[in-house]
Chain A
Amino acid sequence: MTTTVDSILAEYAGAGRDALIPILQRVQEREGYLSTDAIVRIGEKLDLPAAKIYGVATFYNQFRFQPRGKNHIMICRGTACHVKGSAKVLENISHRTGVEPGRTSRDGQFSIEVVACMGACALAPAVNVNGHFYPKVSPTKVDRLIQDCRDEETN
């Protein structure tokens, strides 16, 4: 795992602290999240304290610090989806799965990511699970969606 981070860092030889965000993005792209080890390694490379990197990374919604769950749920919180009640959808999904936005459940089944806009405004409110779009998600649809994910696991 460390080797992935190292290979990314190798591409940024001689880089300064201004390269931090692109590096974080690359690492998350490859590993799915930013691990403690990865942040420490990046810090050593860029001569930045871990607390500073964590501070920068938590400023942006895009970074996560736990591996994705088996079912990675992205919820759109863009304007159109908001108007169509995505706040309630997010609350529902969070409640049903017991996972807070940006985090992963203990059993590794679910992770939730809040997205600013998925570009699917016509389908508002839109939810995406592991790359598959669910249009016009109502609270009742949420229950079935989560149940489907759980059933798939037991089958």
Chain B
Amino acid sequence: MIKFEVDNVSVEAKEGDTILGALRRNGVNVPTLCHMEDLAPTGACRICVVEVDGMRGLVPACSYPVAEGMKIKSRSPRVIEARRTVTQLLLANHPDDCLYCSRSGNCELQTIATELGVRQRLYRGQRATRKLDVSSPSVVRDPEKCILCGRCVRMCEEVQGVSAIDFIGRGSSTVIGTAFDRGLNVSSCINCGQCIVVCPTGALTERSHVDEVIAALADPDKYVVVQHAPAISVTIAEEFGVKPGTDADGRLVAALRRAGFDKVFDTSFSADLTIMEEGSELISRIRNNGVLPMITSCSPGWIKYVETFYPQLLPNVSTCKSPQQMLGALIKSFFAQTQGIAPEKIVSVSIMPCTAKKFEAQRPEFAPNGLPDVDYVLTTREAARLLRTCGINMERLEPDNADTPFGERSSAGKIFGAGGGVMEAAIRSAHFLLTGKELSEPKLTALRGTKDRKEMQLDIDGLKVGVAVVSGLGNARTLMNEIAAGRSDIHFIEVMACPGGCVGGGGQPIGLDRESVKERMKTLYNIDRDDALRVSHKNANVQRLYREFLGEPLGHRSHELLHTHYGKRDVLR
């Protein structure tokens, strides 16, 4: 333990702590715009400066280690003045359109300016006009609102291993941009949206489809259905100020119905369906000497990553569509037929924790005869915006159930929202499909938790199967390199593009930290613990769907509707 003093109070810190970490743990809020949990500090924004006795200049708290006997002033007039000046300089060339900014209310720059009492414009800098980049189907970049903190660049490079963006130019003309300043749509960007979640301002936002959905809901000629992903119910409440890890499943369904959706479906249903198809595919690959290891295909950011960076691994990727696209395909085929509605009349909306799902929905693979299976994708944030715009108070509604035939789910489908959940669900069903017996303990602790990488060796009646779970594409890259180098004890891999899986997705509420991801995960696993139906293959509606429409897993109809193929992508990388 290190003893030091802050504002004349003696406190303690751990060896190796930064001033920032130590102060925060001791109840002193230090503002910062560039600091990122778990990554090395850069000291870029200079908002976190403090005074240290015996040192001439102010010290950036984020990148300076605490030392024994250090005397720190965290709120001296000099510190406050410096922080205010830095904020005012950042605001000098910032567009004055907070009122119209989608981040107004949860903008870190706005919050810091408010907290520091910056109440007038002291400097008027030259405003550079920079073009909005709306080329991507998922992410919109507004360089004018960018404060060059570098968080997006670091997320993209250090966590995701993509490096689609970097600092371009020098000095006052520096911008964040892609290689050769081209649109994000032709860059190596995989649309994961992690940059949006770490952006302190409104410089990075999702491409919104709220207005299109409101218009569709008002159109009497349209039949509007919605599906919501497993990770939505455990995060959307945060948008309304409820603490992380609160499940709002039934009330979310009620709210969506109130908003005017004709049917509310649960993507966890098609997650169960995915397990049937993917589990069968895995068994078939093992029995018929197919390409192994098989890798999951639920995460559209991961899919674009493989297409861009590891095309040689495409044969390893499961041919299963993601749960969103499976349900999308079923809504405009099976559901349309049984209800006697023309597919062209159906507007299929999905609520996803993900910005890459927007990209996925508009892929040509998923628009048979030019009619997209999923029309609009809303992120968790947009769904909350939709409910607010429509004046729906979710908290006051009685919980309701999702609609048949795609409303029933097992809790195996529900845990898809947590990194490791797909694998756990798959193992539960693969065990049954192989042996005819249920797993004696459905809880697979080795695959749970927020660790980036989890591995497990299974023995299913003598059949040895090695499985691995990774989230965050930097970690996926490490594992893929091991596989390429000849590692052969792994047969099935779950990859989620976002750290922690969908609960940590790029479409989730802003202000993501490790703790809230943990809480969201815990809630999903508690739902699983208390659920009566914990395996996908026992989902009665899935069974009925096979009986009445699909036939069998990997059968002809399944192949047509639920499977696809991806191809190499030629982009600047």
Contact = CB atoms under 8 A, between A and B. Distances in A.
A36 interface: yes
A50 B164 CA distance: 8
Nearest to A56: B166
A55 B180 contact: no
A52 interface: yes
B169 A51 contact: no
B167 interface: yes
Interface string A35-70: 010011001000001111111001110000100000
Given A51-B164, A51-B178, A51-B179, A59 B170 contact: yes
A51 B170 contact: no
B572 interface: yes
Contacts of A39: 179-180
Nearest to A44: B573
Interface in B327-380: none
A54 B153 CA distance: 14
Nearest to A36: B180
Contacts of B572: 36, 40, 50-51
Nearest to B163: A49
B165 interface: yes
Contacts of A40: 572-573
Interface residues of A, number: 15
B180 A54 contact: yes
Contacts of A53: 179
Contacts of A36: 180, 572
B484 interface: no
User: Interface extent on B, as a size class?
Assistant: 10 to 19
Contacts of B188: 49-51
Given A36-B572, A49-B188, A54 B170 contact: no
Given A39-B179, A65-B180, A49 B573 contact: yes
A36 to B, nearest CB: 6
B168 A52 contact: no
Interface in B155-201: 157, 162-170, 177-181, 187-188
B163 A52 contact: yes
**For the complex, would chain A's binding face be called helix, strand, loop or mixed by DSSP majority?**
helix
A49 B180 CA distance: 12
Given A36-B180, A39-B179, A65-B180, A50 B169 contact: no
B309 to A, nearest CB: 10
Interface in B136-167: 157, 162-167
B163 A59 contact: no
A67 to B, nearest CB: 15
B89 to A, nearest CB: 22
A49 B179 contact: yes
Interface in B72-122: none
Nearest to A49: B163
A58 B170 contact: yes
A49 B168 CA distance: 13
Interface string A123-137: 000000000000000
Contacts of B179: 39, 49-51, 53-54
Nearest to A52: B166
Interface of A: 36, 39-40, 43, 49-55, 58-60, 65
Given A36-B180, A39-B179, A49-B164, 9 more contacts: A49-B162, A49-B163, A51-B165, A51-B178, A51-B179, A54-B168, A54-B179, A59-B169, A60-B170
20 contacts: A36-B180, A36-B572, A43-B573, A49-B163, A49-B166, A49-B188, A51-B178, A51-B179, A52-B163, A53-B179, A54-B166, A54-B168, A54-B179, A55-B166, A55-B168, A58-B169, A58-B170, A59-B167, A59-B170, A60-B170
Q: Give the 7 A-B CB pairs with smallest separation, nearest first.
A: A49-B163, A55-B166, A50-B179, A51-B179, A51-B166, A54-B179, A59-B170
